[in-house]
Structures are given as structure tokens and as C-alpha cells.
């Protein structure tokens, strides 16, 4: 089963310094029929103006992954980590018993990044942080593994999360086709970050659109160079 998620109907708020699109209920956007998708609780598509950002704030009992689409994301947290990431790079936090962090754009161009929250399979974990500077070419016309569950030996993704979920990114060149298999009792959430694609021959996605996929294999064809982000998980 496929369900198209139209970006023009997502939650949206523009604070001037921050322009956010919410895939699920978050902050000012509340929809009781759109709280989460399986263990996927939050996907926020954030655009942050230069020399602004999120000041120090807390997280608890959540697996947090941030994927930089463009610009520079500067992270600082209560464990002493302080790093700046650029296009295609990823940071990860297991918030566990509690962590404070800030996210800023100290660059001279807008920052766009995807912040994703995944519900952990256990509460009270020891907080942890990591960041990964993936080679951008590793995702060209391929599904590059970003994250997988702790103990999953079949997936070589460098980020290990405390949830039954797998995260991938791909950049599909114009005219290319790729497939993704969603097995029985599994589901996936596909976000088109940039570009335009056709899924299974008839579902058209434009930038920021998404697709819920339940127990169905998909074939994706790029009408133009397209940047994809996909989270695969146990069916809810």
C-alpha cells in the first residue's frame, strides 16, 4: 500500500529566522490523525537563516538524527561535543536520560536540514553523540546506509540506533531508476528532499513530498536529479 503525502498540506510555520515544514504533529502543528508513522515520531524540514539557530534545549528518551541538505549545521551539547557539518553529512544523538544541545547556522547562506526523531525500544539509556562525514558520491544512484538498529549485522550503516529501523539516502541522476523492497510486516517512509520522481509508474513526487509505503516494493524513476531520504521499519 502507498499513501502520498503532499508537502503543501504539511504543518508549516515561518518565524523569519526559521522556516519549518512538519511531516508529523509538532509544535504549532497538531493533527491527532498524524502523530507518527511506526517508530518515526518527527521529521522536520528546517531552513535556518544565517547567524541564527536553536539555542540550548533538552531532549530525553529519543533517537535523534539530523541530515544536512545544504549549508552548515553547527552542533554543541552538554557532553562537550562541538562540530559543524555540511551537505550530506549526518549527526546522531541517543538522548536517553537527558541531553542539552544547540543547533546554529553560523554560515553566510541558509541552512536546510532534516531533523528526525525515532522512538527508542528502551528508555533511560546513557546519552550518546556521533557525527558522520559520508562521501557524497557513495549515494549516487545507490541506497547509502546511514543508520540501523544496534546488533543488526546485515546492515553496515555506521550509526547504530536503539530501534528497529534503517535509514538510507540516495541521489538519483536524471533518467535513472532504482528499487527498494519493503518486506512483509515492514513499512517505509520516503521523503523527496530535492528534484522530481515517479514511483511505480504513476505516483509523482516533487521536492518535500513524501510517501508512506506498507508491505510493497517500489520502483523510483528520476525526472531530474533527485535527492531521496528513506526510513524503513517494522510495520505498526
From 184, 136, 188, select the one nearest 220 (Cα to Cα): 188
pLDDT in tens, 169-178: 999 999 999 9
From 32, 83, 93, 29, select the one nearest 57 (Cα to Cα): 93
| CATH match of 2-234 with 2.60.120.10 | yes
Confirm if 58 and 97 have CB atoms less than 8 A apart.
no
Residue 121 has pLDDT above 90, yes or no: yes
Interval 126-144 mean pLDDT:
96
Share of the chain above pLDDT 70, in %: 100
> What's the confidence (pLDDT) of residue 153?
85
Residue 235 has pLDDT above 90, yes or no: yes
pLDDT in tens, 182-207: 999 999 999 999 999 999 999 999 99
Share of the chain above pLDDT 90, in %: 98
Domain boundaries of the chain, sorted by first residue = 2-234
Size of the chain, expressed as the number of residues it contains: 236
Task: Grade residue 89 by pLDDT with cuts at 50, 70 and 90.
Answer: very high
Mean pLDDT computed over every residue of the chain: 97
Task: Grade residue 23 by pLDDT with cuts at 50, 70 and 90.
Answer: very high
Amino acid at each position: 500500500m502507498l499513501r502520498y503525502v503532499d508537502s503543501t498540506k504539511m504543518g508549516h510555520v515561518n518565524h523569519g529566522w526559521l522556516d519549518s515544514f512538519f511531516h508529523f504533529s509538532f509544535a504549532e502543528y497538531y493533527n491527532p490523525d498524524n502523530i507518527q508513522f511506526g517508530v518515526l515520531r518527527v521529521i522536520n524540514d528546517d531552513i535556518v537563516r544565517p547567524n541564527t539557530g536553536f539555542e540550548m534545549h533538552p531532549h530525553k528518551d529519543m533517537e535523534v538524527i539530523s541530515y544536512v541538505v545544504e549549508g552548515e549545521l553547527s552542533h554543541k551539547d552538554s557532553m562537550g561535543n562541538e562540530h559543524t557539518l555540511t551537505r550530506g553529512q549526518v549527526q546522531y544523538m541517543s538522548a536517553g536520560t537527558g541531553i542539552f544541545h544547540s543547533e546554529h547556522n553560523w554560515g553566510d547562506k541558509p541552512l536546510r536540514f532534516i531533523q528526525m526523531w525515532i522512538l527508542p525500544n528502551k528508555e533511560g539509556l546513557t546519552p550518546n553523540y556521533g557525527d558522520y562525514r559520508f562521501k557524497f558520491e557513495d549515494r549516487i544512484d545507490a541506497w547509502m546506509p546511514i543508520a540501523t538498529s544496534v546488533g543488526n549485522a546485515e546492515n553496515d550503516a555506521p550509526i547504530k540506533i536503539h530501534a528497529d529501523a534503517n535509514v538510507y539516502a540516495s541521489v538519483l541522476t536524471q533518467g535513472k531508476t532504482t528499487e527498494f523492497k519493503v518486506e512483509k510486516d515492514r513499512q517505509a517512509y520516503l521523503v523527496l528532499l530535492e528534484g522530481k520522481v515517479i514511483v511505480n509508474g504513476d505516483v509523482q513526487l516533487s521536492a518535500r513530498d513524501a510517501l508512506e509505503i506498507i508491505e510493497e516494493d517500489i520502483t523510483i524513476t528520476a525526472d531530474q536529479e533527485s535527492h531521496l531520504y528513506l526510513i524503513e521499519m517494522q510495520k505498526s
